[in-house]
């Protein structure tokens, strides 16, 4: 389960990625942040951002709140 | 005074070759009659059409009667897919295709699936290169009627292993269709295909001319209502002046292709190196070596693709983008998606015979400031 959720529904890329990038340095290392994002580009761009920034992409889930992407701060 | 515009979207449409312009004007006078008729004017038109077909066939390395001119590259691609499937329906109804085909091929595949057929997409790696193992498995499955593979990605430039993919198809008797729109007139064509398509405005010909080549012995059946023109492969009278111009410019482009490819490949290398070195947080995508000579793609983190296109346009640079905000569907490019690379802030730069070193230098000089400006506006500096 995620430690916290960022709601980016209704935002178009790159805004969900920017929101994740803003939040990440504010949470302790090891925290899992779930990004809710219904923009289809988020499915590509959140994993790509994790790869470029060396953060851990845990996967996507499609729940009642729509598509969501889990990211763990690793450094 | 603003600098002269720099057009860097040849992969969409190259500026018309001077030979195309000359041929077009000459053929407007001489080639307006229906080449299918029997009177003098028609015979003149027929001569022009036959000569255009011979010249095109020679460049492609095929027989003249294997080549048909279509009203666009898109219609050629639709015909290649649907005709290849129709011709082999006794053997099955599955289309195997790479995940990075042009949308024209994917739309034809959707039509096929909508009519009860099946389609299987084969993945690519992070560099945009076909997974050959998955491809071989897919074409070996029972009921495969046709396989489709782009010769090189129109979005990221990665050259596909067509010869190996063709060998896998040949092993099981599945015909291979190659979309060669970015290769014809620029680089040597791969071997082993049964059906090939291309588009004249990609090599400096006029818009509105496509090529459909079907090798002898290929089971291909026109998906369109019957029409005797163009060997029955595409209905309607051809736009003969444009066809003549397309053939003349293809011959001219092919004659210079090796030298142009070397020149443009050096410029693309420079773009790849300098963009990676001078624009922070950028991902230059596609295979750095096994790639088209004239095309390079990169994505800028945290930058809106549409804003970047407009900012570049204001500075005189015309480029394309695979970012979702620049597409009518609001979906990111399926090619970038299949590769798993950043899709926002995406720019595709594609060069042509009129592109100079000075054009590329000006682009490289201005790009870092333009990206930095957009990032500052969006408040994402230092993220």
Residue B67: which residues within 8 A CB-CB, separation 6 or more? B53, B56, B57, B60, B211, B212, B213
Identify from B327, B343, B375, B376 which residue to disrupt to test chain A contact, counting A C-beta atoms within 10 A and taking the largest count: B343
Nearest to A42 by CA among A61, A15, A62, A22: A15
pLDDT in tens, B191-210: 999 999 999 999 999 999 99
d(CA B80, CA B97): 13
pLDDT in tens, B331-372: 899 999 999 999 999 999 999 999 999 999 999 999 999 999
Shortest Cα distance from A12 to chain B (angstroms)? Answer: 8
pLDDT in tens, B159-189: 999 999 999 999 999 999 999 999 999 999 9
pLDDT in tens, A18-74: 999 999 999 999 999 999 999 999 999 999 999 999 999 999 999 899 999 999 999
C-beta separation of B246 from B200 below 8 A? yes
Helix B162-171 to helix B132-140 angle, to the nearest 10 degrees?
20
Nearest to B362 by CA among B119, B41, B2, B6: B6
Question: What single DSSP character describes residue B224?
Answer: S
Same domain, B310 and B370: yes
What does the pLDDT read at residue B265?
98
Same domain, B247 and B264: no
Shortest Cα distance from B359 to chain A (angstroms)? Answer: 29
In this predicted complex, what is the ipTM?
0.95
* CATH code of the domain containing B264: 3.90.1150.10
What residue of B is the nearest CA neighbor of A25? Answer: B383
Helix B240-278 to helix B40-60 angle, to the nearest 10 degrees?
30
pLDDT in tens, B237-273: 999 999 999 999 999 999 999 999 999 999 999 999 9
Same domain, B35 and B176: yes
pLDDT in tens, B217-230: 999 999 999 999 99
Same domain, B232 and B108: yes
Kindly indicate the confidence band of residue B69, based on its pLDDT and cuts at 50, 70 and 90: very high
Task: Locate B20 and state its tokens.
Answer: 């195309």
What does the pLDDT read at residue B32?
93
What does the pLDDT read at residue B221?
98
Whole-number mean pLDDT of chain A? 95
CB contact under 8 A, B343 and A41: yes
What does the pLDDT read at residue B34?
95
Report, as an integer, the average pLDDT of B271-279. Answer: 98
Looking at the domain assignment, is residue B268 inside a domain? yes
Cα–Cα–Cα angle for B8, B11, B12, nearest 5°? 90
**Other beta carbons less than 10 A from residue B58's beta carbon:** 16
Task: Locate A35 and state its tokens.
Answer: 């990004």
Looking at the domain assignment, is residue B383 inside a domain? no
What does the pLDDT read at residue B23?
97
CB contact under 8 A, B383 and A21: yes
What residue of A is the nearest CA neighbor of B285? Answer: A48
Whole-number mean pLDDT of chain B? 96
Same domain, B332 and B268: yes
CB contact under 8 A, A48 and B343: yes
* CATH code of the domain containing B154: 3.40.640.10
* Domain around B171: 18-252
What does the pLDDT read at residue B325?
67
Kindly indicate the confidence band of residue B326, based on its pLDDT and cuts at 50, 70 and 90: low
pLDDT for B329 beyond 80: no
pLDDT for B38 beyond 50: yes
What residue of A is the nearest CA neighbor of B338? Answer: A44
pLDDT for B123 beyond 60: yes
Domain count, chain B: 2
Kindly indicate the confidence band of residue B328, based on its pLDDT and cuts at 50, 70 and 90: low
Is A13 tagged catalytic?
Answer: yes
Looking at the domain assignment, is residue B240 inside a domain? yes
Nearest to B359 by CA among B315, B323, B308: B315
C-beta separation of B107 from B134 below 8 A? no
Kindly indicate the confidence band of residue B1, based on its pLDDT and cuts at 50, 70 and 90: very low
**Other beta carbons less than 10 A from residue B25's beta carbon:** 11
Q: Which of B283, B324, B383 sits opposite A41 (nearest CB)?
A: B324
Same domain, B146 and B285: no
CATH number of the domain at A4-72, please?
Answer: 3.30.110.40
């Amino acid at each position: 389960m995620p430690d916290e959720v960022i709601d980016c529904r209704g935002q178009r890329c790159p805004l969900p990625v920017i929101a994740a990038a803003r939040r990440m340095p504010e949470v302790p290392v090891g925290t899992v942040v779930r990004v809710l994002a219904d923009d289809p580009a988020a499915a590509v761009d959140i994993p790509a951002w994790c790869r470029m920034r060396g953060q851990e992409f845990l996967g996507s889930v499609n729940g009642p709140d729509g598509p969501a992407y889990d990211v763990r701060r690793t450094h | 005074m603003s600098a002269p515009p720099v057009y860097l979207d040849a992969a969409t449409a190259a500026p018309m070759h001077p030979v195309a312009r000359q041929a077009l004007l000459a053929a407007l006078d001489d080639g307006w009659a229906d080449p299918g008729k029997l009177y003098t004017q028609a015979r003149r038109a027929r001569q022009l059409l036959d000569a255009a077909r011979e010249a095109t066939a020679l460049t492609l390395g095929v027989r003249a009667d294997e080549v048909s001119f279509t009203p666009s590259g898109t219609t050629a691609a639709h015909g290649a897919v649907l005709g290849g499937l129709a011709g082999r329906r006794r053997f099955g109804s599955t289309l195997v295709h790479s995940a990075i085909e042009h949308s024209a091929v994917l739309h034809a595949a959707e039509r096929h699936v909508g009519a009860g057929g099946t389609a299987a997409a084969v993945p690519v790696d992070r560099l945009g290169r076909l997974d050959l193992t998955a491809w071989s498995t897919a074409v070996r499955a029972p009921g495969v009627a046709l396989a489709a593979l782009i010769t090189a990605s129109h979005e990221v430039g990665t050259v596909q292993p067509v010869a190996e993919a063709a060998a896998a198809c040949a092993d099981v008797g599945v015909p291979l269709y190659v979309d060669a729109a970015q290769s014809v007139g620029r680089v040597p064509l791969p071997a082993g295909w049964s059906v090939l398509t291309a588009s004249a405005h990609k090599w400096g010909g006029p818009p509105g001319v496509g090529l459909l080549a079907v090798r002898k012995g290929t089971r291909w059946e026109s998906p369109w209502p019957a029409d005797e023109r163009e060997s029955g492969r595409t209905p309607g009278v051809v736009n003969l002046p444009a066809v003549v111009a397309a053939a003349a410019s293809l011959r001219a482009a092919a004659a210079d292709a090796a030298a142009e490819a070397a020149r443009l490949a050096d410029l693309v290398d420079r773009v790849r190196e300098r963009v990676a070195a001078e624009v922070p947080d950028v991902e230059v995508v596609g295979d750095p070596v096994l790639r088209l000579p004239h095309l390079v793609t990169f994505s800028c983190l945290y930058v809106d693709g549409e804003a970047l296109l407009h900012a570049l346009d204001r500075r005189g640079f015309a480029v394309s983008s695979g970012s979702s905000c620049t597409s009518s569907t609001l979906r990111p490019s399926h090619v970038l998606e299949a590769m798993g690379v950043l899709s926002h802030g995406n720019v595709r730069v594609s060069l042509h015979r009129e592109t100079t070193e000075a054009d590329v230098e000006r682009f490289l000089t201005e790009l870092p400031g333009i990206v930095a400006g957009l990032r500052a506006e969006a408040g994402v500096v230092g993220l």
